[in-house]
């Protein structure tokens, strides 16, 4: 059984999209810290399970050493990942159902093509609901060789009604990213009336890849529940991807401690103004690593030793 993980790589300081923390060290190489974090996760996970798949989301600038298209490739990072997710490539950068500015789009494409040219699969999530925009998004992404999903709202909490069938729907077995032709991004199941309704809705789809949260209302999905999602309604097998964030902590998660609202731990930074309740973290801080259980990676010499690693969004 393939184990798969998609992680958000929120970067601090000049590498991020919001805010500046006055305590940040201007000499710190935030990109390299994140690359090291992802590479360590990859080495550890693949040391346990060789076919583990890792897909960082956003942070496309990590693909080169200095975050510029023409700079030297970050070869170790490219070797450590299997795919890269990118939101807002064609629609959604400045608001849902709005075309992404050409300059921003072309900059992202230049990096995504670096990924494709180095055997790293690209998964794009656009945000629009106008049908002509939806059609255009799927067409343009497919023309570039990217796998894509169009969400009709930012919360990623529903299965879109359009198109009725996934783009390039097929009944083939999908056992790797390169075999996939479409995916569903569904990480906020709160709109579903029950756990069973949520799982049944996924089972009835024909998407090649499903990206979901490990938890339904703070209760983890069981191994048997996840296994039941691995078969498409048309009979083909598919990939189930667990989503988590290693660059932010969220106050609506089960791990959040109420005293953090007034007494932030040293590794917890400013709140994301675009997503209330989400806080940047100093992802190079060992306290954050050990809190998330990724600290095991720093200490274990035998990659086959059992880990207490927990999935976090």
| Closest C-alpha among 154, 121, 141, 152 to residue 241 | 121
Q: Strand (E) positions, 95-158?
A: 121-127, 147-151
The residue count for the chain: 313
Say how far apart CA 59 and CA 7 lie, in whole Å.
11
Residues 173, 175, 178, 179: what is their CA dihedral angle, to the nearest 10 degrees? 0
Tell me what pLDDT residue 16 has: 41
Tell me what pLDDT residue 7 has: 67
Contact 121, 83 (CB under 8 A): yes
Tell me what pLDDT residue 287 has: 81
| Per-residue CA distances from 119 to 64, 82, 115, 241 (Å) | 15, 8, 6, 19
Tell me what pLDDT residue 11 has: 61
| C-alpha 108 chain-centroid distance | 16
| Strand, helix or coil for residue 39 | helix
Say how far apart CA 18 and CA 10 lie, in whole Å.
10
User: Can you give the residue ranges of every domain in the chain?
Assistant: 4-299
Tell me what pLDDT residue 84 has: 96
CATH top-level class of 4-299: alpha beta
Task: Name every residue whose Cβ is closer than 8 Å to that of residue 25 and which is 6 or more positions away in sequence.
Answer: none
pLDDT, averaged per 10 consecutive residues of the chain (313 residues), comes to: 58 44 66 92 90 92 92 95 96 97 98 97 98 98 98 95 97 96 95 96 98 90 96 97 87 83 86 86 82 58 36 31
Contact 307, 295 (CB under 8 A): no
| Per-residue CA distances from 234 to 169, 178, 191, 203, 240 (Å) | 10, 20, 25, 10, 16
Within 10 angstroms of residue 153's Cβ, the number of other Cβ atoms is: 14
Whole-model pTM?
0.87
């Amino acid at each position: 059984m393939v184990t798969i993980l998609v992680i958000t790589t929120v970067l601090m300081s000049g590498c991020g999209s919001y805010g500046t923390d006055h305590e940040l060290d201007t000499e710190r190489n935030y990109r390299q810290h994140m690359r090291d974090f992802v590479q360590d996760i990859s080495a550890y996970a693949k040391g346990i399970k060789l076919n583990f798949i890792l897909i960082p989301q956003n942070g496309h600038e990590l693909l080169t050493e200095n975050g510029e298209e023409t700079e030297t490739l970050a070869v170790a990072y490219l070797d450590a990942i299997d795919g890269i997710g990118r939101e807002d490539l064609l629609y959604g950068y400045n608001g849902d159902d709005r075309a992404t500015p050409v300059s921003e789009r072309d900059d992202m494409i230049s990096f995504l093509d670096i990924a494709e040219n180095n055997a790293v699969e690209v998964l794009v999530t656009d945000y629009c609901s106008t049908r002509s925009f939806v059609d255009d998004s799927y067409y343009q992404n497919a023309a570039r060789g990217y796998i894509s999903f169009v969400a009709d709202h930012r919360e990623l909490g529903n299965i879109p009604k359009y198109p009725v069938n996934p783009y390039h729907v097929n009944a083939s077995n999908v056992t790797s990213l390169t075999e996939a032709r479409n995916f569903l991004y569904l990480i906020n199941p709160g709109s579903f009336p029950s756990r069973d309704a949520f799982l049944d809705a996924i089972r009835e789809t024909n998407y090649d890849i499903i990206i979901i949260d490990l938890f339904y209302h703070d209760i983890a999905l069981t191994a048997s529940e996840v296994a039941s999602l691995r078969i498409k309604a048309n009979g083909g097998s598919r990939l189930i991807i667990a989503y988590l964030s290693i660059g932010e902590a969220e106050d609506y998660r089960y791990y959040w401690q109420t005293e953090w609202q007034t007494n932030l731990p040293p590794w917890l930074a400013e709140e994301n103004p675009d997503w209330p309740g989400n806080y940047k973290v100093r992802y190079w801080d060992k306290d954050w690593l050990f809190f998330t259980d990724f600290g095991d990676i720093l200490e274990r010499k035998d990659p086959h030793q059992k880990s207490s690693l927990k999935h976090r969004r």
